A and B are shown apart, each in its own frame.
Chain A
Amino acid sequence: MSNDVLILAEHLKGKVSDISFEMTGKGRQLAVAFGGKAVAVMLGSGAAALAATLGADSVLYVDDPALAEFNPQAYGRVLAALINDRAPRLVMVGNTSMGMDLAAGLSVTAGLPLMAYVNGLAAEGGALAATSQIYGGKIQAEAVPDGEACVVSCLAGAFPADAGRVGAGLVPALEQIASPVPLADLQIKFVRMIEPQSGDVDITQQPILVSIGRGIGGQENIELAQELAEALGTAVSASRPVTDAGWLPKTRQVGKSGLTVKPKIYLAFGISGAPEHLEGMRGAETIIAVNTDPKAPIFDVAHYGATCDMLDLLPALTEKIKA
């Protein structure tokens, strides 16, 4: 085993995702503690320029036409081969749409422990401790791997991104290689990207948002939120349960798999505040949360809160706005 930290950098549509820089910065810090190097790995086709933006000790760029777009099978094979070959101390993968396809599978194929949903990493006397955010953000679990090597999947926003960008004084060695494993016989084929539907209201452009969650109770109550939004001249946005239920279109979803919004006022009604939702709205200027559960995590990020019934509050507020 080496003492290196292997970091999987992600890119989508020609842009390196922030999680890549966040993990690279943290990975460099840990590599110092382990006495190894932080090696950022990027997979792509003709994307060497993107790889060069990563502020790791060295960058390993794997170039193959089959890696032009994210493909869980191709990525999984290449990473398994690199882990086998280099035996890193720590493998860092994002707890993202891409990383969630990879981390747990790699844990099994490489025979390494996985600690997932990680938002804290520390090397204590050279030993790693990882803190995972579980049970919808209600619990933190600090764990240590049973062996020395392990895989972690890191939550977006857990570590500062700037620490992982290439900057003055750090010019990482960029090594470009061909895929170490054949990628011609994949069962998974990328077909196309589907852009989000346009034509609906753009919730990222509204100065104020009426956002609703599971607490709305049912489709028949959506109207109450819509009346308030109309009075305010804005749109209704929502957390995932509401769009999954089909009560509002996906274009209105705020959060990890939806949109990131930064309005001046974000009204969070009946939203408990799962980490995936908070990821998409915590940058709002003022957050007002209404939820009958006084312990809902949404109150930890909100500026103002109340625990009254949102179904009574919505019409009362609409009336006051109209007045």
Chain B
Amino acid sequence: MNIVVPIKQIPNLTDELEINGDGTGLDHDALQYVLNEFDEHAIEEAVLAKEAAGGTVTVIGVDTTGELDGALHTALAKGADKAARITGDFPRGTDSHTQAKLLANAIRSLSPDLVLTGVQAADDRDGQIGPMIAAHLGLPYVGVVTGVAVKDGKAIVHKEYAGGLMGEFEVSLPMVVGVQAAHQPPRYAPVSKVRQIAKTAKIDEIAGDEAAGAGSTVRRMFKPEAAGHAEMWEGGPEEVAEKIAALIKEKGLLKG
């Protein structure tokens, strides 16, 4: 089975996100980029599917940061077999429509049985890449998936709805899946192994064609103004615990 995992790097959300001078985007140069957390799950689910049914896992991304190789090496250390980088003039913050088009063009030539990608990314302002890749390739798509099992040319996928309800679907391969969570937590790749792989791994380079464009223009980017803010309690754990305990007591919620 030929499994392809398109991935995306996004700003690290634990950093302070600064808005650029003209107020229409992030100040990308000031940001550290990390792999989209849902893509971590897609990689894990792909490696699990390979372990269960055999095949190869190819991880592929558009190099918008100049630092994609690190994410690709980590994926290889976690059990992916091949890695590919789409290159071209695609800066940080390249829109989803462009990334999806570039990825779809590259993935088409790989003739995958299964494409697994993160269900969403924090920077998907113009939409998620999974359904767009599926539309470009004319393949069926199911997203918000928490488990994929492949058998006899078909995939059984579990899709989450609200409240823990799940829909089970049977899909003829090839298909594209938007992974919400792998059915096991993503495995850890030791730094030593990633370093080793970085020395020897061959990453295929694919020249990307032109940008598709988001089809919309951001005219203002801003930080949301909260309607309210918590009353902040100063002090260490002891003082804060005292205040919380008092509140619980006041509400009559102490047991016994």
Contact = CB atoms under 8 A, between A and B. Distances in A.
B151 interface: no
Contact of B229 (A102, A113, A299, A317): A299
Contacts of A192: 167-168
Contact of B215 (A70, A147, A246): A147
Given A104-B131, A105-B134, A193-B165, A303 B231 contact: yes
Interface residues of A, number: 106
Closest 4 CB pairs of A and B: A113-B215, A196-B164, A305-B230, A300-B226
A24 interface: no
Interface in B174-226: 175, 178, 180-181, 184-185, 213-224, 226
Interface string A9-23: 000110000000000
Interface in A165-212: 186-197, 207-208
Interface string A236-255: 00001000111000110100
Interface of A: 12-13, 69-73, 76, 96-98, 100-109, 112-117, 129-130, 132-147, 150, 153, 186-197, 207-208, 231-233, 240, 244-246, 250-251, 253, 256-260, 264-265, 267, 286-290, 293-295, 297, 299-309, 312-313, 316-317, 319-321
B178 to A, nearest CB: 7
B232 to A, nearest CB: 5
B97 A107 contact: yes
Q: Pick from B136, B156, B224 the residue with the most CB of A within 10 Å.
A: B224
B218 A142 contact: yes
A305 B253 contact: no
Contact of B167 (A69, A105, A288): A69
Contact of A97 (B140, B144, B228): B144
B16 A295 contact: yes
A130 B214 CA distance: 14
B21 interface: no
B135 interface: yes
Nearest to A288: B244
B244 A267 contact: yes
Interface string B136-148: 1000111110000
Nearest to A206: B253
Taking chain A's interface residues, is the majority helix, strand, or loop, or is none over half, making it mixed?
Answer: mixed
B250 to A, nearest CB: 10
B247 A113 contact: no
Contact of B241 (A70, A132, A300, A313): A313
B89 interface: no
A213 B141 CA distance: 30
Given A104-B127, A135-B13, A189 B171 contact: yes
Query: Chain B at the A interface: mostly helix, strand, loop or mixed?
Result: mixed
Interface residues of B, number: 92
B125 interface: yes
A105 B104 CA distance: 13
Nearest to B212: A108
Given A100-B120, A187-B171, A139 B17 contact: yes
A95 to B, nearest CB: 9
Interface of B: 11, 13-14, 16-17, 19, 26, 41, 96-97, 100, 119-120, 122-132, 134-136, 140-144, 156, 158-172, 175, 178, 180-181, 184-185, 213-224, 226-238, 240-245, 247-248, 251, 253-256
A257 B160 contact: yes
Contacts of B120: 100
Given A139-B221, A290-B240, A117 B248 contact: no
Contacts of B11: 135
A245 to B, nearest CB: 5
9 contacts: A97-B160, A100-B143, A106-B135, A139-B19, A258-B164, A260-B163, A300-B229, A303-B230, A320-B242
Contacts of A244: 41, 181, 185
A250 B160 CA distance: 11
B140 A73 contact: yes
B251 A72 contact: no
B165 A143 contact: no
Nearest to A298: B230
Q: Residue among A112, A133, A290, A308 with the most chain B CB within 10 A?
A: A308
A257 B218 contact: no
B122 A135 contact: yes
B242 A116 contact: no
Contact of B165 (A113, A141, A196): A196
Nearest to A250: B164
Contacts of B125: 115-117, 132, 134, 141, 143
Contact of B236 (A76, A113, A293, A312): A312
A296 to B, nearest CB: 10
Contacts of B184: 246
A306 B58 CA distance: 45
A138 B171 contact: no
B251 A265 contact: yes
Contacts of B158: 194
Contact of B253 (A251, A264, A300): A264
Contacts of A260: 162-163
A145 B169 contact: no
Contacts of B245: 317, 320-321
